[in-house]
Amino acid sequence: MSLTHDSFYRRAAGSSLLLAVCDDGQGATVPVLLHWGADLGDLGEDDVAAIVRARTPTVPHSALDQPRWLAALPETVTGFTGTPAVEGVRAGATGPWAPRFDAWSLTHDGHTANLRAADEESGLTVALTVGMDEDGVVMTRSSLTNTGPGDYTVSALRCVLPVGPEATEVLDLTGRWTRERSPQRRPFAQGTWQRSGRHGRTGHDATLVMVAGTPSFGFRTGSVWGVHLAWSGDHVHYAERTPEGESLLGAHELLGPGELVLAPGEAYTTPWLLGSWSGEGLDPMSHRLHAWVRRSARRRPATRPVMLNTWEAAYFDHDLEKLSRLADAGAAVGVERFVLDDAWFKGRRNDYAGLGDWTVDPEVWPQGLHPLVDHVRGLGMEFGLWVEPEMVNLDSDLVREHPDWVLRGRSALPPEWRHQQVLDLQNPAAFSHIRDALGALLHEYDISYLKWDHNRDLVDTSHAGRPAVHGQTRALYALIDDLKGEHPHLEIETCASGGGRVDAGILLRTDRVWPSDTIDALERQHIQRWTTLLVPPELVGTHVGGPEAHTTGRRHRLGFRAATALLGHFGVEWDISVVPAQEREELAGWIATYKQVRELVGSGLLVRGDHPDPALLVTGVVSRDRAEAVYVLATVASSATQTPLPVRLPGLDPDRRYAVERIGPEEGGPLVDMGQSWLGGEPLVLPGSVLGAAGVRLPVLPPESARVLRVSVI
């Protein structure tokens, strides 16, 4: 078995990827990902040939008579016993149902390899793209073209990446509304562990990143391989280990029966599969993904403006005088963007009516939104607006005029969810209507920001007699692209009843995510920690709510709520116009603290400590030159020990000396730092080696409290 001289090798940021087109021993060729993981150093053509020879599979008893590679595009007809990459059926076909691609060609530009092959008997050609960016993120996708007679229905087109045999654990995330992105672990055993999302959107239970790693890997330890599918519709992520010893991670768009039919000459291209490897735990894996999102998404300033959103301050009770007082209070404490949430549009006094009628309600706003917008802009703040363009209420002018625009699967309507239905964006007239309505608002008012919501799953929906999710998702992308093209400075937040649409596909088009509808600081400590597995911290909306969380009924002190929001895109979700002066002054102090650190948050490296006590979460951001850092140390439960265990501050340079000091307003009330503590005096000066390896002791802290440390090189 020999190499055909076609190979691609890419090294970047301590990682490497090796791909070669190999002889399969049956007179055909096959593309093989020989390595994805640690940097292999400089390799020449002879080295690659030797690696192929060294990695050629052996022939076991009771198996095919030739060695079988794990192909970059696994195929059933080669004897692969796992999940095949291509599944589909041709109408009226009498030939093979499973393709066998051959005569692979490979070209590359040093960063990205492009492979092509055909199966004339099946009437299909395939193109496979595999690349690695400058931060070590692997990007791969496939394209399938129907070159045969008649229609070809695509059932699945999967992308896979191999992982090291030492990966024996799998981590993925699950969740529900207000408890998104909860981690779960299991052994990476033989068989397939599959996570499917069938919500018509990414879903509150989406795995986000599926990770395989060495035993007990953490944020700072272990080798890990993680994959994420950049897609906002139905999807599948899976981890698979075959009896032959092959281990891989894969993902694909989840297509419904008959959803994607290719006419002769038509092609389907998968979403990008992103892969990130780290030899030092989840943090470096996330750093690679954060860099990809920051570089690939439409650019927004790294310094994010402080926001005030009106939902939990006003709900459906819109009143110009009340909202103007709220804007005044926001400006006084340092807010820079004021966002008017739900209830501004026609007929919207509750959530039973109005969705789809994107015109300002003349009964509540007889002069339109101009008085409020002018007042907000006069205070020096930007103005933002809540919309939910993909949804309709049956009690709306739009549905009364166009009942056929409601997305449904049968003659009866789907069950309602939050008293609403879905608008069929694949209908050109419906698409144009919504695009023009939003465009009219953006032209009339000085709107810099849209909070774009999506408050239900797609249930029992179809378009032109086929499942609708693929086309609906593509139409959503086109709608956002059109609006951004017309208004290039517009920022959009993706919200889907909180964290129901968090993925790299939507992040290519939007400017931040709303990770959850709960702003209970205790819940948010966990939700934000795991959301940043993929999403850079400055793109995660982190707001300070009122003293009592409206989703849980918990009460937290302002210091805990504000510190929890500090390492993200800071905002306020609270009627601060009625807050006592002392509390408003404390909030202003936290906003000032955020403004001191937000440039670091938007450009630095996120670090998450593996503290031995689960009651303490350590989260920080370290500048790329490691000259400064800020850490939030939060207690999320009562500690098991009488005094807190030492806290290590990860990410610092062990060969430099740092000054460590507490920042942020002093917390009022009876529960303050007890006993003697270095936090109350002059900054502590220690080498980075001590801070990172030995750590420092905190004072005894009550449950559900936090301290913020700033670390600066001296």
Show the tokens assigned to 443. 């032209």
Question: Which of 137, 519, 504, 543 lies closest to 307 in space, CA to CA?
Answer: 543
What is the CB neighbour count within 10 angstroms for residue 321? 8
Buried b (16+ CB within 10 A) or exposed e, 454-488: bbbbbbebbbeebbbbbbbbebbbebbeebbeebe
Q: What is the widest separation between alpha-carbon atoms in the chain?
A: 82
Specify the long-range contacts of residues 495-498, CB closer than 8 Å, at least 24 apart.
Answer: 495/451, 495/452, 495/453, 495/454, 496/201, 496/202, 496/453, 496/454, 496/455, 497/177, 497/204, 497/418, 497/453, 497/454, 497/455, 497/456, 498/177, 498/178, 498/180, 498/204
Residue 619 Cα distances to 651, 664, 706, angstroms: 11, 16, 11
Amino acid at 702: P
CB-count burial class (<10 Å; 0-12, 13-18, 19+) for 560: buried
Under 8 Å CB-to-CB from 428, ≥6 apart: which residues?
none
Rounded CA-CA distance 308/318 in Å is 15
Show the tokens assigned to 654. 């062990």
Show the tokens assigned to 674. 């007890």
In the residue annotation, 613 being an active-site residue is answered as: no
Task: Select which of 23, 133, 457, 517 is catalytic.
Answer: 517
Task: Select which of 453, 457, 503, 673 is catalytic.
Answer: 453
Q: HSE-up of 91 (CA within 13 Å, CB side)? A: 12
Angle at 327 between CA 368 and CA 440, to 5 degrees: 30
Pairing of strands 169-174, 224-229: unpaired
Residue 101 Cα distances to 6, 28, 112, 144, 309, angstroms: 16, 9, 21, 11, 54
What is the CB neighbour count within 10 angstroms for residue 307? 26
Rounded CA-CA distance 187/336 in Å is 47
**DSSP assignment string, 367-421:** TTTHHHHHHHHHTT-EEEEEE-TTEE-SBSHHHHH-GGGB-BSSSSPPPPBTTBE
Rounded CA-CA distance 679/215 in Å is 36
In the residue annotation, 655 being an active-site residue is answered as: no
Rounded CA-CA distance 356/399 in Å is 8
Which residues are known to be catalytic?
Answer: 453, 517
